[in-house]
């Protein structure tokens, strides 16, 4: 590798991003208060609250170790000439630009997965186990990893092959690659509820009864085209609870974790789902999709410049010790180069998401006519998931897609 000006800028940026997260984590720990907020006295006792703070501390320590180790692995691979060596190795065993590109990306993906595997094991079987969340057996964990790897091969390789082929054979490649990527992404979104998600979890249609009737009545009231209500076996892996909806067009599907159904009252569950319906009715999903499509266009345009073969491309590839300018290496180097901008975009996206959460809360409160049902649902979820009730504003600013639960409750009460 050549330690040129661009290499120094990227190194400083990577260290800067790591330092930013480190500072946010330390501030988050200092913001922990030993006093339970009065709002949560009905769902937290002293022992449960102390446990939630211990969980936050344990997760923060793990986050620091994980991020430090990940940065160390990346820098070691980079400074030891790993990118150049891997590109040469791929070209030796798979002659031809496209086969070599797929081998390069595939080996890099598998290598990253293997380096992250010990952290995933520790998080699941030590931290989550210690605090009573983990229900994943070693067998389920192994099967999940194998399924994930096979799914990445079945879906990721065709996507990568299409993009690499376009950049190697088509004029205005960035535009066509962007179109191909967006089409593929929309196809996966359509495919996920019926083929991908059931590979990992069992979805059982909710039996007819008061809860199902109440959910259907709320959907009709809100003009939500509900096609299916399912209960997902989330307890197979964790005791944590959640709910979500999927589907395109007029066939929307709602899925509730079985752990959520067990803990929440009918009114609370309807309020949670009214919140999710609010995202749909307020066009949040469409807005986010539109922004992601535009953002992808910008990214592919910039990627086209990075691998265009000019002086900047040469400097970037020299910085990583790669001799031949190519689309497959360019994809990876562009991701590293773009990391600071991606972080800024993430901060903006999180701020926008928090605004959407307030709007969906307000929609749910109005639709149900019972803001307190959503308040109690949020409080129970916080206790169930051992949520940090007092996150530092800087941590929220950087990473939280949802406002702190106390802030959400205050906004709901103001309604």
Whether 208 sits among the annotated catalytic residues: the reply is no
Per the listing, tokens 């949040």 go with 284
Give the separation between CA 293 and CA 345, rounded to whole angstroms.
14
Whether 323 sits among the annotated catalytic residues: the reply is no
- Among 178, 185, 183, which residue's Cα sits nearest to residue 163? 178
Of the residues 361, 370, 372, 399, which is catalytic?
Answer: 361
- Among 163, 196, 212, 170, which residue's Cα sits nearest to residue 332? 163
Summarize the chain as % helix, strand, coil (round to 5). 75, 5, 20
Q: What is the DSSP letter of 40?
A: G
Asked if residue 258 lies in contact with residue 284, where contact means CB atoms within 8 angstroms, the answer is no
Give the separation between CA 89 and CA 102, rounded to whole angstroms.
12
Kind plus residue range of the DSSP H or E element containing 256: strand 252-257
* Angle separating helix axes 5-30 and 327-337, nearest 10 degrees: 50
Per the listing, tokens 């990306």 go with 105
User: Tokens in use for 381?
Assistant: 């979820």
Of the residues 87, 128, 276, 357, which is catalytic?
Answer: 276
- Among 22, 117, 23, 30, which residue's Cα sits nearest to residue 67? 22
How far, rounded to the nearest angstrom, does the alpha carbon of residue 254 sit from its chain's CA centroid?
19
Catalytic residues: 276, 361
């Amino acid at each position: 590798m050549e330690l040129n000006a661009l290499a120094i800028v990227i190194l400083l940026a990577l260290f800067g991003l790591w330092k930013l997260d480190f500072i946010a984590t330390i501030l988050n720990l200092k913001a922990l208060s030993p006093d339970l907020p009065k709002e949560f006295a009905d769902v937290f006792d002293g022992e449960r609250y102390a446990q939630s703070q211990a969980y936050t501390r344990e997760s923060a320590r793990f986050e620091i170790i994980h991020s430090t180790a990940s940065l160390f692995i990346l820098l070691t691979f980079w400074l030891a000439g790993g990118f150049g060596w891997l590109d040469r190795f791929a070209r030796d065993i798979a002659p031809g630009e496209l086969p070599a590109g797929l081998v390069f990306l595939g080996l890099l993906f598998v290598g990253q997965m293997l380096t992250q595997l010990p952290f995933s094991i520790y998080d699941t079987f030590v931290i989550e186990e210690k605090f009573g969340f983990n229900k994943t057996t070693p067998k389920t964990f192994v099967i999940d990893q194998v399924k994930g790897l096979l799914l990445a091969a079945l879906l990721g390789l065709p996507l990568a092959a299409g993009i690499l082929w376009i950049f190697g054979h088509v004029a205005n490649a960035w535009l066509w690659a962007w179109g191909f990527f967006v089409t593929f992404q929309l196809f996966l979104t359509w495919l996920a509820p019926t083929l991908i998600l059931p590979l990992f979890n069992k979805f059982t249609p909710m039996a007819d009864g008061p809860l199902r009737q109440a959910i259907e009545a709320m959907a009709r009231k809100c003009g939500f085209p509900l096609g299916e209500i399912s209960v997902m076996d989330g307890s197979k892996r964790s005791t944590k609870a959640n709910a979500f909806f999927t589907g395109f067009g007029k066939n929307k599907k709602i899925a509730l974790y079985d752990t959520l159904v067990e803990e929440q009252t009918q009114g609370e569950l309807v309020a949670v789902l009214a919140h999710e319906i609010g995202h749909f009715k307020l066009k949040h999903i469409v807005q986010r999709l539109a922004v992601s499509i535009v953002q992808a266009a910008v990214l592919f345009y910039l990627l086209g410049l990075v691998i265009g073969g000019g002086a900047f491309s040469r400097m970037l590839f020299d910085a990583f010790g790669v001799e031949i300018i190519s689309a497959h290496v360019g994809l990876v180097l562009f991701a590293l180069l773009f990391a600071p901008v991606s972080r800024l975009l993430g901060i903006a996206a999180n701020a926008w998401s928090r605004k959407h959460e307030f709007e969906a809360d307000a929609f749910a409160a109005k639709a149900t006519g019972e803001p307190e049902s959503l308040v109690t649902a949020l409080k129970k979820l916080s206790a169930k998931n051992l949520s940090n009730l007092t996150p530092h504003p800087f941590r929220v600013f950087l990473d939280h897609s949802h406002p702190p639960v106390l802030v959400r409750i205050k906004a709901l009460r103001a309604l």
